Chains A and B, each alone.
Chain A
Amino acid sequence: MTREPNTPIDERFVELGLEELLGGASAPDVSDRVVAELARSRATAAAKPEPLRTSAPPVHRVSHWGFATGAAASLLACWSLGILSTASSRAVEVAVRAGAVAAWEDEAWVGQPPAGRDSFWLNIGDRLRSQESAPASLEIGSLGMLSMQPLTTIEVLDMRWNDFGKGAALGGVTVAVVSGGLYWVSGDVNSEARAGDRLELRRGNPDADPSMMESAKVADLRDALEREKARVAQLEMALSRQRVAGETEPAADDAGTTEDGKPPAMEAPFHYTGLDDVLAKVDWASMGSTTHELVPVLTELAALIDSGEAPSLELQSKVQALNSKFLAQAPVIAEGIPGEGVNGSFSHPLVVANQMYATFEAAGIPLDNAQRDRMQALAAQYAGEDDQRRAGYSSETSKLQVLLEEMELKERFYAEARGLLDADQLGVVSHPAIQGFTGIELVGTGVAWAPFTRPARMPSLQAYGEKLSSQLTNNLNVSEEQAGQLGAIVQKWAATYPQNLWEMELSPRNRQRMIEVERVSAAARMQLGMVQEILGSLSLTPKQREDLLSLQQVFVPMRQP
């Protein structure tokens, strides 16, 4: 809140008191964070006798599986409805709702994404296995929910696509059960299969679907969108495995070198202890030229969508091609830079500062020395804050809280960083037409929110609350008595959801899953309050508690016109 300038100290005291009494501002409880950080520091000191201040910041490690899943959902790519794809590029997005699964790759089981945090792409021929200790629940595209018993292995035999007009919608996925057993639930379809069986996972009656899908039509459109995201993911995977040698971009494993094996021409000008090795491997010249090229293309795309016109295939292809240049850097950035998901790594203050620098170089309007010094200080300051923030979390911290606080920190960083730029520089990295929207904003939190945003259209907030309550009840597997309590909390959430956000008109962008960041962050804050109330009110089992704490998707209610 902006305070009156030159307020005398006593009046300032009164103002702060009013913010506490009337505005609900309150001192945070940092005790858990302090205790955890001290314990971590002491453990580090015991293991490595170095000064704490100079120790490397915690680095987000992403498994091979995690990388593939993150990249699939990374950067842009949520809008490209019209691009036609070949059958071989068809894959379905799978979200892990509970438990964990591993994939069979290169003769080994790899990766176990934590429940509720990751999604990945499933292709024909893929094999998945659930853990020995717990069942796993997977949301298969928009088809329905697959529950795998512990140590169940399945293989994808076939996918059925229903072609329509400009694209195709997923009709079903046929799997073979190699070991264990599974259940399939989709609306009014409820099937069971055991080792030796084969089963088509097909969509049931959407009216009875417990997921957040409102209609089969929307589901079809989402499938088409997902298919295009799969195409991007496959391109990225191909790059990462060096199957596209000779193409214009370096392969993923070679992201740190040019084709002739020399280091990238542009070094990262902004540094931070612990991240410098990673930053040195990124091709900043490519990051800069891609950003410089992509911002006007996205601006044009946004204008077309706003006007109700279908973007040309040429324009969409251009976005995809430029986006793939970012993805070529993903193996390095996602592996070594902290952040929630791949886009979280890409939007880290140090990455963004260097990206902006490189973009201005490409545009011929470089930062001057004063701007450069200030940007270095800002990036380091926020990277330090980010380290402190991460070190303060415990296993009892909601993943949604982690995400929200990361975004709030980045919002502050972006605001200050933009303040350093002149009008020309600002226009190169952030056009007002694309600023503040998920899925299309490049230099801002829109890019980081996108993979976690789950917009859903409903006729009323009450109906939305009922759907959400039903979904949470099913996913957490709570008792009947607890379901009543949970339902009351969710309905309270629905009743207090800000009317101004709910009443916002559904725009053409919203229909392409480009959502206002303001709306997503408000929804996330509201959802976090609801999650915390559920945690505080219901007597949950450790498993239920873990599942709820791992929930990181942000449900954004949107009014169905």
Chain B
Amino acid sequence: MTEAPPLDVAALVRTHQTAIWRYLRLLGAEAAEAEDLCQETFLEVLRRPFDDAEPRATSAYLRRVARNLLLKRRRHERNKPTVAFLDQVDAAWQRLASDGGEEHLTALRACLDTLPDRTRRGLELRYANGQGRRDIAKALGMGEEAVKTMLRRARASLKQCIDRRMRP
């Protein structure tokens, strides 16, 4: 019997960290908190004997630990995530991000190109510049309610487009 090769911790972390970070973001963690929890997740797992036998199993295990750490952190908070919400996230993750979210991101990139210019500009002002509805409305010469509707429709349209592209 040959001995298992030593675990390459850095490689393991690099392989899974983006997916874990995205998963934590989806669970509601802000970027900085997701980063902390991502690090904590790997430490929690790697402080004990760990066998990186199969990437999908490792990924699922890391997500489970990340989820528990988030819950632990939120347990005293009023807005702690409900079990139903967590289950919804897990189901959506299986459906849309079983590869860690790369395919979803690629589809989103392509779908963004199909949006009308003004809608795309509105999304850029919102997500690239971090502007609120009032500023976006001013920049695009629209009313605030119209901006709200436009952004909501844009996200719904992107979701449908992504679904079409990712459909097997």
Among the stretches B31-39, B51-59, B135-143, the one at the interface with A is B31-39
The residue in chain B whose Cβ has the minimal distance to the Cβ of A17 is: B108
- CB of B46 within 8 A of CB of A38, answer yes
| B52 nearest CB across to chain A (Å) | 14
Identify A22's interface contact among B18, B42, B127, CB under 8 A: B127
- CB of A4 within 8 A of CB of B92, answer no
- CB of B42 within 8 A of CB of A30, answer yes
Chain A residues with CB below 8 A from B162, complex form: 14
11 contacts between A and B (CB under 8 A): A13-B92, A15-B127, A23-B128, A30-B42, A31-B9, A32-B10, A34-B10, A35-B9, A38-B43, A38-B47, A388-B39
Chain A residues with CB below 8 A from B26, complex form: 9, 12-13, 16
Chain B residues with CB below 8 A from A52, complex form: 47
Identify A30's interface contact among B22, B31, B35, B126, CB under 8 A: B35
Q: How far is the CA of A389 from the CA of B89 in the complex (A)?
A: 28
Annotate A376-409 by CB proximity to B: 1 below 8 A, 0 otherwise: 0100010001001100100000000000000010
- In residues 28-81 of chain B, which contact A (Cβ within 8 Å)? 31-32, 35-36, 38-40, 42-43, 46-47, 73, 76
| B20 nearest CB across to chain A (Å) | 8
* Contact A18 B127, CB 8 Å, known A28-B21, A30-B42: yes
- CB of B104 within 8 A of CB of A30, answer no
Chain B residues with CB below 8 A from A24, complex form: 128
A107 interfacial by beta-carbon distance below 8 Å: no
Q: How far is the CA of A13 from the CA of B42 in the complex (A)?
A: 23
List the interface of chain B (C-beta within 8 A of A): 9-10, 13-14, 17-18, 21-22, 25-26, 31-32, 35-36, 38-40, 42-43, 46-47, 73, 76, 88-89, 92, 96-97, 101, 104-105, 108-109, 112, 123-124, 126-128, 130, 152, 155-156, 158-159, 162
- CB of B13 within 8 A of CB of A34, answer yes
The residue in chain B whose Cβ has the minimal distance to the Cβ of A3 is: B28
Annotate A28-58 by CB proximity to B: 1 below 8 A, 0 otherwise: 1111111101100100000000001000000
Chain A residues with CB below 8 A from B38, complex form: 27-28, 30
Nearest first, the 5 closest Cβ-Cβ pairs linking A and B are A27-B21, A27-B18, A31-B13, A22-B127, A17-B108
Q: How far is the CA of A3 from the CA of B66 in the complex (A)?
A: 22
Please report the total number of A residues contacting B with Cβ < 8 Å: 40
- CB of A9 within 8 A of CB of B89, answer yes
- CB of B39 within 8 A of CB of A392, answer yes
* Contact A21 B108, CB 8 Å, known A13-B97, A34-B43, A408-B32: yes
Interface centre among A14, A21, A388, by most B CB within 10 Å? A14
Chain B residues with CB below 8 A from A385, complex form: 36
A19 interfacial by beta-carbon distance below 8 Å: yes
| A529 nearest CB across to chain B (Å) | 17
Chain A residues with CB below 8 A from B36, complex form: 385, 388-389
* Contact A18 B108, CB 8 Å, known A13-B92, A28-B17: yes
* Contact A14 B155, CB 8 Å, known A23-B127, A31-B17: yes
A10 interfacial by beta-carbon distance below 8 Å: yes
- CB of A20 within 8 A of CB of B155, answer no
* Contact A9 B88, CB 8 Å, known A17-B104, A31-B17: yes
* Contact A27 B17, CB 8 Å, known A16-B25, A385-B36: yes
List the interface of chain A (C-beta within 8 A of B): 1, 4, 9-25, 27-35, 37-38, 41, 52, 377, 381, 385, 388-389, 392, 408, 412
Identify A21's interface contact among B32, B35, B109, B159, CB under 8 A: B109
The residue in chain B whose Cβ has the minimal distance to the Cβ of A13 is: B96
Chain B residues with CB below 8 A from A408, complex form: 32
The prevalent SS among residues of A at the interface is helix
- CB of B39 within 8 A of CB of A11, answer no
Chain B residues with CB below 8 A from A18, complex form: 108, 123, 126-127, 155, 158
Q: How far is the CA of A545 from the CA of B73 in the complex (A)?
A: 38
- CB of A10 within 8 A of CB of B22, answer no
* Contact A35 B128, CB 8 Å, known A10-B159, A16-B22, A21-B105: no
| A397 nearest CB across to chain B (Å) | 14
| B10 nearest CB across to chain A (Å) | 4
- CB of B112 within 8 A of CB of A34, answer no
Q: How far is the CA of A408 from the CA of B97 in the complex (A)?
A: 30
Chain B residues with CB below 8 A from A35, complex form: 9-10, 13
Chain A residues with CB below 8 A from B31, complex form: 25
* Contact A30 B127, CB 8 Å, known A10-B92, A14-B108, A377-B76: no
Q: How far is the CA of A381 from the CA of B112 in the complex (A)?
A: 40
Q: How far is the CA of A455 from the CA of B13 in the complex (A)?
A: 40
Chain B residues with CB below 8 A from A377, complex form: 76
- CB of B108 within 8 A of CB of A30, answer no
| B57 nearest CB across to chain A (Å) | 19
- CB of A19 within 8 A of CB of B127, answer yes
Chain A residues with CB below 8 A from B97, complex form: 13
Chain A residues with CB below 8 A from B46, complex form: 34, 38
Identify B47's interface contact among A1, A4, A41, CB under 8 A: A41
The residue in chain A whose Cβ has the minimal distance to the Cβ of B89 is: A9
| A24 nearest CB across to chain B (Å) | 7
Identify A38's interface contact among B9, B73, B104, B127, CB under 8 A: B9
- CB of B13 within 8 A of CB of A30, answer yes
Identify B17's interface contact among A25, A29, A392, CB under 8 A: A29
Chain B residues with CB below 8 A from A41, complex form: 43, 47
Chain B residues with CB below 8 A from A29, complex form: 14, 17
Chain B residues with CB below 8 A from A15, complex form: 127, 155
